[in-house]
Structure 1
Amino acid sequence: MTTVDVGIPVLRTGRSSMEGRPDVSDLVDRFGRTARDLRVSLTEKCSLRCRYCMPEEGLPPIAPENLLTAAEIVRLVEISVHHLGVREVRFTGGEPLMRRDLEEIIAGCAERAHGVPLSMTTNAVGLEHRAAALARAGLTRINVSLDSVHRAHFAALTRRDRLPSVLAGIRVAQHAGLAPLKVNAVLMRETLPGAVDLLQWCLDQGCALRFIEQMPLDADRQWARENMVDAAELLAVLGTRFDLKEIGREEPSAPAEEWLVDGGPATVGIIASVTRSFCEDCDRTRLTAEGTVRSCLFSDHEVDLRGALRSGADDEELAQLWRGAMWNKWAGHGVDAAGFVPPERSMGAIGG
């Protein structure tokens, strides 16, 4: 076993047991799941400091030599698609827009993994200046993290007064064809009264809104189950203005349960990661900014691909390491269970 300095904790990594694994190329695990959705974190840096994610001073910086290069990211994405059956790739952070070579990464992946949807989760700060170039490079759509359309609430939650830039980024992204544009909002006690206004704004702007229960992935370690706003409480608040009819998930692996709003066709989604866990249908695999495979947001077990890649491993050797990491994936995170222990890494250091 070796240790890797990832900026937040020191995590143990190594080869995973392949005992009992069927001889298939896909990213299967012991519980019958197959990972088809790849999340690639590009950086720990972010232009905001959201209280449920980042400490006020930001995350400790990752040494440049420990970050995957653009070429390395493209190669691993290509392996995931052509060797491991990945069907969708989403780039995350930190904040992906903090990478100056983001367009290069997108263009390389679009060329080497042709036909696979490439999306990005972003806070949209500064997106108005890059949306057109990202679309030309091959980005297909974006998810924007936006918890409030009230400027004071936004500034208090993110510790930055950047709401006008976010809204400008959304408008330019829509004009550039990065659609369907989805808005992700984390449920927080202080922004719950504004949830109805956020939903109305999204309906007016043609954005699909999904609320997310706050998870114990904050760097400040302030999360407490008894203080969390859950899906039931949110639905009660939304129901004071809108008529909601539950329609369920679009597909089993989709994390959001959907409700028709005022008879449709618009919907609102709720990702109830804590109170309505969807672990049994999870189809995700994650690549950290340092090049380790993380099979679950809440598991600190990571398998190092960067070291093998830089030591000359061929594509099939890298694919086999990845298969081992996913074969040993947990059955579920157990966030709502007594005795749950949160992971060492925060959301900003893992990638969403």
Structure 2
Amino acid sequence: MQQLTDAFARKFYYLRLSITDVCNFRCTYCLPDGYKPNGHNNKSFLSLDEIRRVSRAFANLGTEKVRLTGGEPSLRRDFTDIIAAVRENPQIRHLAVTTNGYRLARDITQWRDAGLTALNVSVDSLDARQFHAITGQDKFREVMSGIDAAFDAGFEKVKVNAVLMRDVNHNSLQTFLNWIKDRPIQLRFIELMETGDGGSLFRKHHVSGQVIRDQLVQQGWTLMGRSRSDGPAQVFTHPDYIGEIGLIMPYEKDFCATCNRLRVSAVGNLHLCLFGEQGIPLRDLLADDQQQEALMARIQGGLGRKKQTHFLHQGNTGMTQNLSFIGG
């Protein structure tokens, strides 16, 4: 099997595949004014067959893990079929989705039956009113019911993402710890990242994950190792807790040194970094099954352009206007 490796000897086992940039939530840090269909020049999103072909190409290039992202991926009517199509590749052992949880309670059983193996749910606050204020949707109880439904459907662990924001939830660590004490939930604090549309919000609310990490260490939490297809989270465990805490800190020194993931946007562009420049088009090679070799060659060739690091520290957010544009 071929292997995706860049000029800095980083190996890529993990694909984040966006299938839509549409979202029905209006999170303050992503789409505060709601979704507007103006980012892709009216191109349609990848079809089921195109998703099948691109996932096959990545599987043949050594990809072991795929995460379906958006926007909100479950808004696609063919979402269950997409799960099944990606899972046709035996090389892809882990298939995850990041969701706002809107349709979780209704659909999680059929997603699992189709082949979904892991689940990330966005929950930025455990206070229903604050959740409503952040997301623009009064859906806290529905999302919580969806997480319960995931456990009922057979998921042994659920990851929950919370974007860490100063004066919003950065003082809520103990509330989250109480919630995961007896639940197999990995609660992941994600540092707020600057995007093209979100500069003022970033300056107002960014806080380093170091604040959380210092508290965890003081309370006896210890850092776990990571496997080659894991995401970027630093994961901490504690003997008194069933749950875990993860920290994603993109502004920390050497964050990019362990990069193992690539991205394909909902319109079929390969993005070498969430905060890179214009993507590499793949869609012209997704029309039929005869172009798989050319598709794989373009993906491999594109890796030669991957930079050693992002440039967020200099305020360069690349082409990422908001996090739904490529899929976070």
The two structures share one fold, judged by TM-score above 0.5: yes
**Aligned counterpart, 2:226:** 250
Deviations 1:73-112 (A, max 9, x none): 0111011102x11011110000111111000111122124
Equivalent in the alignment of 2:185: 207
Residue 308 to residue 174, structure 1, CA distance change in 2 (3 Å): same
Over residues 38-80 of structure 1, what are the superposed CA-to-partner deviations in whole Å (9 max), with x where a residue is unaligned? 1100101112111111131323255775311011101110111
Structure 1 residue runs of 5 or longer lacking an equivalent are 1-23
Aligned to 1:344: 319
Q: Report the counterpart of residue 27 of structure 1 in structure 2.
A: 4
TM-score scaled by length of structure 2: 0.90
Question: Which runs of structure 2 are paired with 1:298-309 in the superposition (5 Å)?
Answer: 298-309=275-286
Which whole-Å deviations, capped at 9, do the CAs of 1:213-262 have from their partners, x for residues lacking one? 111136443344574111222245667xx823332542476412233336
Aligned pairs for 1:121-136 (under 5 A) are: 121-136=98-113
Contact 2:25/2:34 (<8 A) preserved: no
Alignment of 1:256-335 (within 5 A): 256-261=233-238, 266-310=243-287, 314-335=291-312
Segment drifting more, 265-274 vs 221-230: 221-230
Task: Tell whether the 8 Å contact from 1:255 to 1:271 is kept in structure 2 after alignment.
Answer: yes
* Cα RMSD for the two superposed structures: 2.4
Query: Partner residue of 1:157?
Result: 134
- In the alignment, what sits opposite 1:67? 45
Match of 2:118 in 1: 141
Q: Which amino acid aligns with 1:47?
A: N
**Which residue does the alignment assign to 1:19?**
none
In structure 2, the partner of 1:36 is 13
Q: Please state whether the residue corresponding to 2:2 is helix, strand or coil.
A: coil
Write the letter of the residue equivalent to 2:326: I
Pairs aligned (count): 324
Matching residue's letter, 2:273: C
Alpha-carbon distance in structure 1 between the residues aligned to 2:91 and 2:227: 24
1:325 partner letter = G
Q: CA deviation at 1:311?
A: 7.9
1:6 match: none
Which among 93, 116, 126 is matched to residue 70 of structure 2? Answer: 93
